[in-house]
A and B are shown apart, each in its own frame.
Chain A
Amino acid sequence: MGVKKVFFPKIRLAELVAAPGGTTRDDAVAAAVRNVQAISGEGDAVMNASIQAIEKIVAGAGARLDPGALESILIHADQVITLAGTFGYESLDRAARSLCDTIESLLAVKASDAAPVAVHVDAMRLFSPGKASPQGDAAEGVLAELARVQAYYRSRAAPQ
Chain B
Amino acid sequence: MSQLKLNFRSVTTLVIDRDRYTRSLVGQMLRGFGVGGIESVDSGEAARKYIQDNFVDLCIVEANLPDMSGADFIRWVRREQKDPVRFMPILVLTGYTQLRMISAVRDAGANIVVKKPVSAQVLFDRVAWIARTPRAYIETADYVGPDRRFKELVPPGGRYRRETDAPVQDAMAKQANGDKA
Given contacts A4-B177, A29-B32, A86-B117, contact A46 B21 (CB under 8 A): yes
**Hey, which chain A residues are within 8 Å of B6, CB to CB?**
17-18, 22-23, 25, 28
CB-CB under 8 A from A13, the residues of chain B are 11, 57-58, 89, 130-131
Q: Which residues of B sit under 8 angstroms from A17, Cβ to Cβ?
A: 6-8, 11, 128, 131-132
User: Which residues of A lie under 8 Å from residue B116 when comparing CB positions?
Assistant: 78, 81-82, 85
Stretch among A35-43, A60-68, A150-158 lining the B interface: A35-43
A2-B178, A13-B58, A82-B22 known; A19 vs B137 contact (CB < 8 Å): no
> A78–B97 contact, CB under 8 A?
yes
- Are A31 and B33 interface neighbours, CB within 8 A? yes
Decide: A28 and B34 in contact? CB cutoff 8 A. yes
Total CB contacts across the A-B interface at under 8 A? 176
A82:B95 contact, CB within 8 angstroms: yes
CB distance from A45 to the nearest CB of B (A): 9
**Interface residues of A: mostly helix, strand, loop or mixed?**
helix
Whether A34 is near chain B, meaning CB under 8 Å from some CB there, is yes
Q: Is the beta-carbon distance between B33 and A28 smaller than 8 angstroms? A: yes
Complex: chain B residue closest to A75, CB-CB: B97
Contact string against B for A residues 52-83, beta-carbon threshold 8 Å, 1 for contact and 0 otherwise:
00000000000000000000001101110111
Q: Tell me, rounded to whole Å, the shortest Cβ–Cβ distance linking B36 to chain A.
A: 9
Question: What is the minimal beta-carbon distance from B29 to any residue of chain A, in angstroms?
Answer: 4
Closest to A24 in B: B3
- A10 CB to closest chain B CB (Å) equals 6
| A138 part of interface (Cβ distance < 8 Å) | no
Could you write out 17 A-B pairs with CB less than 8 Å apart? A5-B140, A6-B147, A8-B136, A13-B57, A13-B130, A13-B131, A14-B132, A18-B7, A23-B7, A24-B2, A28-B124, A31-B31, A81-B117, A83-B117, A84-B117, A86-B25, A86-B119
* Interface set of A (CB-CB < 8 Å, partner B): 1-14, 16-26, 28-36, 38-39, 42-43, 46, 74-75, 77-79, 81-86, 96-97, 100, 104
Interface residues, chain B, CB within 8 Å of chain A? 2-11, 19, 21-22, 24-25, 28-34, 55, 57-58, 83-84, 87, 89, 95-98, 116-121, 123-125, 128, 130-132, 134-142, 147, 177-178
